[in-house]
Amino acid sequence: MNEKIILQDVVDISEKVFESDYFIETDQWITFLIGDKEHTITFDLTVDASVYQSSGDYFTPPDSHFTINSVEVDIKEVMIGEDVVETTDQDIEYYKKIIEFNL
């Protein structure tokens, strides 16, 4: 993908997963350039994850990591420049791929 991300308000998934009982649902936005035009996408982000935590023992330090079970991106609005634009199903899938790639 050759889109250039210039601004974003996308949560740090790893931090939020541990803080929120392994489920995140939040409003987000991302702005990127395609050619010389700014595209701003407002979307809902839903993430479901499983977390593994080990308290460790005398020889092994504590450990934790998580696995993302599902990510859902629901596009609410697309702006090109300062104009809100209509989107096709193909446009929405394209924007979802950009968002998921940049999470």
Q: Calculate mean pLDDT across residues 35-55.
A: 85
20 lies in which domain range?
A: 4-101
Domain count of the fold of the chain: 1
User: Are residues 47 and 21 in contact, defined by beta-carbon separation less than 8 angstroms?
Assistant: no
Query: Residue 25 has what pLDDT?
Result: 75
Query: Residue 74 has what pLDDT?
Result: 92
- pTM for this entry: 0.68
Q: Calculate mean pLDDT across residues 25-39.
A: 82
Q: Calculate mean pLDDT across residues 81-91.
A: 91
Strands 37-54, 63-80: pairing kind: antiparallel
Q: Which H or E element spans position 75? A: strand 63-80
Question: What CA–CA distance (Å, rounded) separates 101 from 12?
Answer: 14
